Amino acid sequence: MPSSQRQKDVCDLLDADHKAVKKMFKDFDALCESRARNAPQMRLDLAREICIELTVHAQVEEELFYPALRDAIKETDLIAEAEVEHQTAKDLIAQIQAAETADEAFDAKVKVLGEYIDHHVKEERNEIFPKARAARKLDLVALRDEVAERKQELMDEQLAVA
């Protein structure tokens, strides 16, 4: 079925997150070029927003998407690799969130995180999502609803402490 006729599934939902975060990283890069007086604070704020988005995204993948996928496909090495990539991203996220100023090292960490996420997204799009969509015993539309609900809960929690 062409993608315009099939119902949106969990892969579409997760990929929408990917696209939103990619735009945020582009906005961050533009702020790095900005000479505005408030650019450093704007970079700090945007980086924290990126970190919240990525934290929530990674958590719903780890709690719901990856376990469902692990039960439905044979090649689970891709999932293990994705989980390791998440952990490395979380380490960088923690460093970014702990920063008090947007200096050169801070900007470098955010840029490296962006490159890292870009690599991770390509693997999900090109390898994991096609395998998920080919798995017969996986209801990706029901999983989309479950992920969307959990994502909203986690986002509410993040915003309550931010």
pLDDT tens digits, 37-75: 999 999 999 999 999 999 999 999 999 999 999 999 888
For residues 71 and 62, give the distance between their C-alpha atoms in angstroms, rounded to a whole number.
13
User: Are the C-beta atoms of residues 78 and 131 closer than 8 Å to each other?
Assistant: yes
For residues 46 and 110, give the distance between their C-alpha atoms in angstroms, rounded to a whole number.
10
What does the block give as tokens for 48?
A: 């924290």
For residues 140 and 2, give the distance between their C-alpha atoms in angstroms, rounded to a whole number.
16
pLDDT tens digits, 105-116: 999 999 999 999
Q: How large a percentage of the chain has pLDDT more than 90?
A: 86
Span between the terminal Cα atoms of the chain, in Å: 42
Provide the whole-model pTM: 0.92
Domains of the chain with CATH codes: 10-161 (1.20.120.520)
User: What integer pLDDT is reported at residue 21 of this predicted model?
Assistant: 97
Helices first, then strands: H and E counts in the chain: 7, 0
